[in-house]
Amino acid sequence: MIVIATYILKYNKAGMVMRVSLGAFLSMSDGFTDIFVIMNYYKNTELVGQAQLLLIMVLLNMLTQLLTVLVNYAKKSWGVKLREVLICLLFLRPAVDAYRISTNKVDDEAMVDPLSVERDGYQ
């Protein structure tokens, strides 16, 4: 049963959608739990230092994502760039990327093709 389940998750289109969707959900929930923990740490005077360190880590990650988006969509209009930046700021990047991967969306103007790894692995 484990071999069959692994095969279905790896090579079946529905399995890929399920894997990508579950990963996106976990990534989004991680962002929200980070915010929750930071807020609770700031309430406790003994944990303010840890809250600041966690906030710095989250902000560095966000800055890296924003720079990557701006580089990836350099050829796009500012409206598209703004939309992609908002997707990052609202912690929706995993869900949007999961949708784009599961629907095989191809963007010829993007600098990096998010499907290139998946396509190479399945050809």
**pLDDT, tens digit (0-9, with 9 covering 90-100), for 43-58:** 998 999 999 999 999 9
Is-contact 13 83, C-beta < 8 A?
no
Residues 58-103 pLDDT 10s: 999 899 989 988 888 888 889 989 999 999 888 888 888 877 777 7
Q: Where are the domains of the chain?
A: 2-104
In order of 53, 81, 82, the CA distances from 87 in angstroms are: 24, 10, 9
Confidence of residue 3 (pLDDT cuts 50, 70, 90): confident
pLDDT at 120 > cutoff 70: no
